[in-house]
Amino acid sequence: MRTDVQESDDTYTLKMDLPGFNRDDIQISLQNGNLSISAKREHSDEKKDDKGNVLRQERYYGTCSRTFYVGKDMEDSDIHASYNDGTLTLTVPKKTKKELKDTHYIEIG
């Protein structure tokens, strides 16, 4: 899960190498400001037979995940993801103070 992180004026862009995964097997979650990317690629026994005689295996099979802290104020809808040519690209906005959630005041009854 080699990743490049780039910063522009208003966004952070993460590009992660995830070759040969199904789109459905890549999960991105956001919890407590932690952005987690996990990906799964499995070799079931059935598939092995189907795949024929394996002569060499260098590629990784199994589950892998990686977490980045993006700040607690980030919401799911702020983050955009795309998967193309084996690269997952995530765009995370930089939040300025103005954009932060307004503090909710509770009226005194």
Partner 1 sequence: MRYLDNRNHDLFSDMFDDMFRGPITSSGQLMKTDIREKDGKYILEMEIPGVKKEDVRISLYNGNLTVSANHTSTDEEKNAAGKILRQERFSGSCSRTFYVSDVITDADIKASFKDGILTIELPTEKKKEEETKKFIDIL
Q: Using CB under 8 A, which residues numbered 58 to 87 contact partner 1?
A: 58-60, 83, 85-87
**Are the C-beta atoms of residues 43 and 52 closer than 8 Å to each other?**
no
CA distance 108 to 52: 71
Question: x/- site string to partner 1, residues 17 to 36, per CB under 8 A?
Answer: xxxxx---------------
CB of 107 to partner 1, least distance (A): 43
Answer for which of 31, 44, 57, 96 binds partner 1 (CB under 8 A) is: 57
Residue corresponding to tokens 């400001």: 33
Adjacent-strand bridge partners of 93: 11
- Asked if residue 96 binds partner 1 (CB under 8 A), the reply is no
